[in-house]
């Protein structure tokens, strides 16, 4: 039983590290964008083509990166966390929950 608890704890730590890492990445991306808006308005307002500024492109990139980071996490969790939980559940049910 103690072994199962330590495996669950290790899995929880692994998931927590990934969540913190990806959260830090998204905070950096988002606040980097906001800081560019705050401190470099001229560059953000530069037109790439009529009606399309650098700020619009970078804002769209923030949205796309948010989706990409989410997709990465979902795939990572499906491969690593869900499989490990299924393995632990199967082992527990074989042992009768003991």
Domain locations in the chain as residue ranges = 2-94
pLDDT in tens, 31-83: 999 999 999 999 999 999 999 999 999 999 999 999 999 999 999 999 989 88
How crowded is the C-beta side of 31, counted as CA atoms within 13 Å?
6
Question: In angstroms, rounded to a whole number, what is the distance separating the alpha carbons of residues 15 and 21?
Answer: 10
Contacts of 77 (CB under 8 A, 6+ apart): 15, 18
User: Residue 17 CA to chain centroid, in angstroms?
Assistant: 11
Instruction: State residue 29's pLDDT score.
Output: 97
Using one digit for the tens of pLDDT, what is the confidence trace for 49-59?
A: 999 999 999 99
* Residue bearing tokens 């009606």: 51
pLDDT (0 to 100) of residue 7: 85
pLDDT, residue 22, reads: 97
Q: Which residues pair with 52 in a beta bridge?
A: 49
Local confidence band at 25 (pLDDT 50, 70, 90 cut-offs): very high
């Amino acid at each position: 039983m103690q072994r199962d608890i330590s495996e669950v704890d290790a899995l929880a730590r692994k998931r927590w590290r990934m969540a913190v890492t990806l959260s830090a990445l998204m905070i950096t991306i988002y606040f980097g964008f906001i800081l560019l808006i705050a401190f470099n308005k001229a560059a953000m307002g530069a037109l790439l083509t009529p009606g399309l500024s650098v700020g619009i492109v970078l804002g769209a990139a923030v949205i796309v990166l948010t989706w990409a980071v989410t997709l990465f996490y979902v795939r990572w969790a499906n491969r690593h966390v869900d499989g490990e939980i299924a393995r632990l559940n199967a082992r527990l049910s074989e042992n009768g929950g003991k």
